[in-house]
């Protein structure tokens, strides 16, 4: 669990559903790797959303570069990219 990533996520301007999914991933991520591997069902439960709603938000977050989706060995990992970028 990473409070640091969660705190950084609060500073990103996003609409409600997208932000809540990103906050969930940041909350579950390990600080050193910024990665977590929750199921879509777990994210949906934590965020109070449908599975399809979570999938839509994950796709949008990946397109925005805020989340990397890494597939391997039958498991999907998510890497949270919320650290301030160098200008």
Q: Which CATH architecture has domain 3-80?
A: Orthogonal Bundle (1.10)
Convert the pLDDT of each residue in 30-86 to its tens digit: 999 999 999 999 999 999 999 999 999 999 999 999 999 999 888 999 999 997 654
In this structure, the strands spanning 35-36 and 67-72 are unpaired
Q: Give 81's contacts (C-beta < 8 A, 6+ positions apart).
A: 34, 65, 66, 67, 68
- Model pTM score: 0.91
Nearest to 38, CA basis, from 4, 5, 79: 79
Alpha-carbon torsion 22, 80, 7, 61, what sign? negative
Convert the pLDDT of each residue in 3-25 to its tens digit: 889 999 999 999 999 999 999 99
What region, left, alpha or beta, does residue 84 occupy, with left being phi > 0 and alpha being psi -120 to 50 degrees?
Answer: beta
Give the pLDDT score at 3. 87
Domain ranges of the chain: 3-80
């Amino acid at each position: 669990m990473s409070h640091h990533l969660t705190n950084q996520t609060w500073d990103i301007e996003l609409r409600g559903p997208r932000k809540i999914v990103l906050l969930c991933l940041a909350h579950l991520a390990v600080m050193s790797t910024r990665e977590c591997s929750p199921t879509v069902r777990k994210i949906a439960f934590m965020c109070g959303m449908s599975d399809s709603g979570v999938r839509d938000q994950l796709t949008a977050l990946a397109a925005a570069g805020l989340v990397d989706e890494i597939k391997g060995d039958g498991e999907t990992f998510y890497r949270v990219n919320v650290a301030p970028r160098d200008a």
